[in-house]
Amino acid sequence: MMGIGRALTILTALLAATVSAEGQMLFKSKSSKQLVEELLPRNSFGITILNTRFQANPNSIATFITTSDKLPIQSGIIMTTGIVNWAAYPNDSPSSGCAMFTPGDSRLEKIAGARTSDAAILEIEFVANTDEVSFEYFFASEEYPEYVNKGVNDVFAFFIEGPGYDSLYNIAKLPTTGEPISVDNVNAQKNSEFYIENKPWRGFSVDNPGTSLASIFQFDGMTTVLEAKAKIRPYATYKLTMAIADVGDNIYDSGVFIKSRSLKSIGKLQPIGPYLKSEIEKRMHLIGANRIRVTGDTVGFDKTINFDFNSYEILPDDTTALNEVAGLLEQFFDARLRLIGHTDDVGSDEYNMDLSRMRSRSVANYLIMRGIDKNRIATEGRGKRQPLTYGQTDAERRKNRRVEFLIYK
């Protein structure tokens, strides 16, 4: 027969498990592309992602979600120096973690002033349509509180690089002092207004129920929600590197939690014309464009497509130029394109009108094949009504067999 004490112990454990489940953290492994998509606002055209890459043990990154209002952020992605699932254990020990035995990061070592290990690094190459981007996050560590200023200054950074930055620039800094965020810079003694202590959980009780932070979260301390911001040039390519690493030892872990849907283009919208014209001029020799025209936020240029006589087939000689146009549309991701087909003067007006339409559609189909959304492209034909030259030689007539490109917002 089971004793009363033993029965109460089991009942207490069951109650703790039940209430803890109410606020548990759930994790899901995804590709680096899917993880980054978790950070972007739904139906947002402010940022486009060009490339992503994650370097670390795949168990060190995942999406997370919780129903607990005790955590500073309820959903997003987690990146740790250990295994992500470990973060959801009750905080029943002041010194927990696991070694991944993976390399550190030299960039983080410059911040921490010490050797690093078990680095987790997420790289995001992006383009935004305003002059500033931002996202929200918090940092947590098992080094708190006993290893503050003890040479195990676990560290992370958000490095940005691109136009306007001569070198890597860390935007994971305190808004008050500009100091990089680490165990030694944010704790109960220093910059304490940004610090949250997570006292160890000693099991279910009336004073410490299973829905408390310590019952669902292993890290001993964390920062409040902070915002990372970076000034950028609209429509230029930047790389954001999110990196975290252990310092001094690789046992006690740290993690950074980035809020879902918080990676936004928050600055002022800029006129697209000057930026677009500049980028077209850089690609002039590859596109073979001429007569660049800027009217407000519309930039137009003619490109002679070497259509054979009486044909709308794209020839191999023009694929390089059209690939450059596709790259331009990827960079100016919220712009639209109008394609206007033209012909030479041989044949009837009605026939040439149809042929010019087919030529513009042929170019559109090629760009769609290269990944450009068909809803961004409009086509029309103008037949032989707007020639560039009135010459009668085949070379002169070839100049009129062209497609006009208008890119606009």
**Would strands 264-265 and 298-303 be described as parallel, antiparallel, or unpaired?**
unpaired
Q: Are residues 252 and 305 in the same domain?
A: no
Residue 212 reports pLDDT greater than 80: no
Q: Is residue 4 part of a domain?
A: no
CA–CA dist 156, 182 (Å, integer)? 7
Q: Are residues 82 and 206 in the same domain?
A: yes
**Per-position DSSP letters for 250-315, written without gaps between them:** SSB-EEEEEETT--EE-S-B--HHHHHHHHHHHTHHHHTEEEEEEETTEEEEEE---PPTT--PPP
User: pTM of the predicted model, to two decimals?
Assistant: 0.82
**Average pLDDT, rounded, for the chain:** 87
Same domain, 123 and 242: yes
The domain boundary, picked from 197, 232, 265, lies at 265
Judged by DSSP in three states, 357 sits in: helix
Sort strands 403-408 and 298-303 into parallel, antiparallel or unpaired: antiparallel
CA atoms within 13 A on the CB side of 198: 32
The three-class DSSP label of residue 200 is coil
The reply to whether 3 falls in a domain is no
Instruction: Output the pLDDT for position 241.
Output: 97
- H-state helical runs in 283-401: 284-287, 319-331, 349-369, 394-400
Residue 191 lies inside a defined structural domain of this protein: yes
Q: Are residues 350 and 248 in the same domain?
A: no
pLDDT of residue 6: 36
Is residue 83's pLDDT more than 70? yes
Over residues 66-86, the mean pLDDT reads: 93
Q: What is the mean pLDDT of residues 215-234?
A: 94
Q: What percent of the chain has pLDDT over 70?
A: 91
| pLDDT for residue 5 | 38
Residue-level pLDDT at 17? 38
User: Are 232 and 113 in the same domain?
Assistant: yes
- pLDDT tens for each residue of 89-110: 888 877 777 778 888 999 999 8
Which helix (DSSP H) or strand (DSSP E) does residue 106 occupy? helix 106-112
Q: Which of 31-35, 119-123, 250-254, 260-264 has the lowest mean pLDDT?
A: 250-254
**Does 153 fall in a domain?**
yes
The one-letter amino acid at 86: W
Mean pLDDT of 229-255: 91
Tokens of 37: 């998509």
Q: Select the more confidently predicted residue: 64 or 308.
A: 64
- Among residues 248, 184, 251, 247, the alpha carbon closest in space to that of 221 is found at 184
Q: Residue 2: pLDDT band by 50, 70, 90 thresholds?
A: very low
- Domain match, 255 and 401 both: no
Q: Are 398 and 304 in contact (CB under 8 A)?
A: yes
Q: What's the rounded Cα separation, in Å, for the pair 293 and 304?
A: 16
Q: Is the pLDDT of residue 204 over 80?
A: no
- For residue 43, is pLDDT > 90? no
Torsion of CA 28, 90, 73, 69, to 10 degrees: 120
Question: 12 lies in a domain?
Answer: no
In the structure, what pLDDT confidence band is assigned to residue 297 with cuts at 50, 70 and 90?
Answer: confident
Please check the confidence at residue 149 and state whether its pLDDT lies above 90: no
CA-to-CA distance for 298 and 280, rounded, in angstroms? Answer: 13
348, 281: one domain: yes
DSSP-assigned letter for residue 23 = T
Q: Based on the domain organization, do 282 and 248 belong to the same domain?
A: no
Write the CATH number for 388.
3.30.1330.60
Instruction: Indicate whether 304 and 246 sit together in one domain.
Output: no
In a domain, 367, yes or no: yes
Residues 210 and 289 in one domain: no
Q: In the listed set 265, 298, 323, which residue is the last one of a domain according to the structure?
A: 265
Confidence band of 353 (pLDDT split at 50, 70, 90): very high
Residue 255's closest CA among 244, 241, 268? 244
Instruction: Encode pLDDT of 334-350 as tens digits.
Output: 999 999 999 989 999 99
Q: Which domain holds residue 92?
A: 24-265
383 in helix, strand or coil?
A: coil
Is 315 a residue whose pLDDT tops 90? no
**120 in the same domain as 148:** yes
171 with 293, same domain: the answer is: no
DSSP helix/strand/coil, 128? strand
- Among residues 129, 333, 132, which one has the least CA distance to residue 234? 129
**Binning pLDDT at 50, 70 and 90, where does residue 397 land?**
confident
pLDDT at 120: 95
| 15 within a domain of the structure (yes/no) | no
**Which residues, in sequence order, are CB contacts of 392 under 8 Å at separation 6+?**
none
Residue 1 lies in a domain: no
- The span from the CA of 201 to the CA of 215, in Å, is 6
With a cut of 80, say whether residue 249 has pLDDT above it: no
Instruction: Out of 241, 265, 289, pick the residue that ends a domain.
Output: 265
Domains: count for the chain: 2
